[in-house]
Amino acid sequence: MGIVLYWLGINLYLLVLRIAALFHPKAKLFVKGRKGLLPQIKYALINERRPRIWMHCASLGEFEQGRPVLEQLRKDYPQFAFVLTFFSPSGYEVRKNYEGADYVFYLPTDSARNARLFLEYVQPKLCLFVKYDFWYYFLSAIGNRDIPLLLVSAIFRDNQGFFKWYGQLQRRMLFAFTHIFVQNSASQRLLQKIGYDSVTVSGDTRFDRVIEALDQPVKDLPKIRAFCNQHKILVAGSTWPDDERLLHKAFAQLPENWKLILVPHEVHEAHIYDLEKLWGDVAGKWSDETDWANKRVVIIDTVGLLLQLYRCGDIAWIGGGFGKAGVHNVLEPAVYGMPCLYGPVYHQFLEAIALVACGGGFEIESPEQLVNCIRYWETEPDAYTNASKAAAQYVKENAGATQKITSYLVAKNCISMV
């Protein structure tokens, strides 16, 4: 019965997507990206003679969690070809030219036929799924072929279907995995409660990813250097309108020695126009040819600069903390020793909770709170230093998940070249 409902659910979902594709850009990309996909995969790999490792990610966030593992495996096993798949257009469209993989595809929609043909064409020696995105037919087909299948950076909660009376099908999918690497002990205990014991608490691979950024060459940004020019800098990353309105009200109350680098989550033309209208003459725009070094705010209207920009700041504001999805990545600024401020919607993210607990993160609900926080640190520099050190130390202490995963692969001889 569970399989029938699953099959019906998948097909209903696909029908809805096809209808949505008529007017929704992401749905259109999803549908278009899967037209002729299996033949495309077949012919892309038809002359590939190297053994293959396959990693699957739901979207861009999961890719960033899997990326440290993928890149370490590429160093350790250069004789392999690496295949990377995405479920979501937001992952595939951004990373379709990612140089760390030899082949990047959409994942075909889940069916017995698609799973069988995909594995026939890819012929992976090892399969890695990142965090979640469980597909019954794919997992079953991998198990039928006795291919080692790992789940990395997983996290589980007791309200998920895996742990409910009705979750038999979900549990079957979990038991398809050869081994599961979880982020915390609570997830391990939940798995053990349902009889799944092949589990390791490895932590979150994103810590390894952001620590790698410390060793990357600093990109010279002359315009930003001129803008900062010995001012105090607040870098606001991945912001949404609620964040931006709060920052606008707060900055009106801050002394002139503070400047803002504003990096919105959405950089489409309409939103950038709204930001220019909100900030008025005090703001410049990254893409402007005119000099904005003397402006108080710079709006970053392009993507790909946020990690570099965090290096330039004294304090970080991380957006998303007023929306349903919650706060964005707090580790990226924390690794640079920046006190991290964000809105109240963060309790579904362990790292955001832990940063608050260790003194490196701070919940802010109003412009007045933000102003008071910054003024306090200006008058109590030791408190600022302690918050900065706490943020950096938290990231450092939680690194190492990638090493645990790759060590397991070696110890268990999971990767075969036969």
pLDDT over threshold 50, residue 137: yes
pLDDT average, residue stretch 378-393: 98
Is pLDDT at 38 greater than 70 in this prediction?
yes
Residues contacting 66, CB < 8 A, separation 6+ = 55, 57, 128, 130, 131, 152, 153, 205
Q: How far is CA 238 from CA 210, 282, 348, in A?
A: 16, 20, 18
Long-range CB contacts for residues 382-385, cutoff 8 Å, separation at least 24: 384/339
Q: What percent of the chain has pLDDT over 70?
A: 99
Contacts of 129 (CB under 8 A, 6+ apart): 55, 56, 149, 150, 151, 152, 177
Average pLDDT of 299-310? 92
d(CA 233, CA 200): 41
Q: Are 128 and 150 in contact (CB under 8 A)?
A: yes
Q: Tens digits of per-residue pLDDT, 175-193?
A: 999 999 999 999 999 999 9
CA nearest 181: which of 126, 125, 130? 130
pLDDT confidence bin for 412, thresholds 50/70/90: confident
What is the rounded CA–CA span in Å between residue 301 and residue 371?
26
Asked if pLDDT for residue 1 goes beyond 80, the answer is no
Q: Which domains does the chain have, with CATH numbers?
A: 34-203+400-411 (3.40.50.11720), 219-397 (3.40.50.2000)
For residues 3 and 139, give the distance between their C-alpha atoms in angstroms, rounded to a whole number.
13
pLDDT tens column, 139-169 = 999 999 999 999 999 999 999 999 999 999 9
Residue 341 has pLDDT above 50, yes or no: yes
Query: Residue 307 pLDDT more than 50?
Result: yes
pLDDT at 171: 95
Q: Give the Cα separation of 319 and 416 in Å (integer).
A: 43
CA 138 vs CA 17, 116, 175: distances in Å: 20, 8, 13
* Cα distance between residue 134 and residue 110, in whole Å: 10
- Provide the greatest CA pair distance for the chain: 66
Of the pLDDT bands very low, low, confident and very high (cuts 50, 70, 90), residue 418 is very low
Residue 99 annotated to the active site: no
Among the residue ranges 9-23, 99-113, 319-333, the one predicted with the least confidence is: 9-23
pTM of the model: 0.85
% of the chain surpassing 90 pLDDT: 88
CA distance readout (Å), 137 to 10, 115, 203 = 11, 6, 28
Instruction: Tell me the two tokens of residue 350.
Output: 């362990």
Q: One of 48, 62, 212, 276 is an active-site residue; which one?
A: 62
pLDDT of 50 higher than 80: yes
- For residue 1, CA distances in Å to 4, 11, 47, 387 come to 5, 16, 41, 54
Strand ranges inside 164-268, DSSP E: 179-182, 199-201, 232-239, 258-264
pLDDT number for residue 417: 52
Nearest alpha-carbon partner for 305 in 213, 204, 209, 208: 213
**With contact defined as beta carbons under 8 Å apart, do 208 and 68 qualify?**
yes
Instruction: Give residue for tokens 């399989």.
Output: 3
- One-letter identity of residue 285: K
Residues 6+ apart with CB under 8 A from 333: 235, 237, 310, 313, 316, 318, 340, 391
What the block records as the tokens of 122 is 């890819």
Per-residue pLDDT tens over the stretch 222-281: 999 999 999 999 999 999 999 999 999 999 999 999 999 999 999 999 999 999 999 999
Higher pLDDT, 160 or 415: 160
Average the pLDDT over 394-412 and give the result: 94
Alpha-helical runs (H) found in 21-82:
25-33, 37-45, 60-76
Alpha-carbon distances, residue 175 vs 6, 139, 215 (angstroms): 17, 9, 38
Among 329, 331, 310, 336, residue whose Cα is nearest residue 234: 310
What is the rounded average pLDDT for all residues in the chain? Answer: 94
The residues near 170 (Cβ < 8 Å, ≥ 6 apart) are 134, 160, 161, 162
Average pLDDT of the segment spanning 351-356: 96
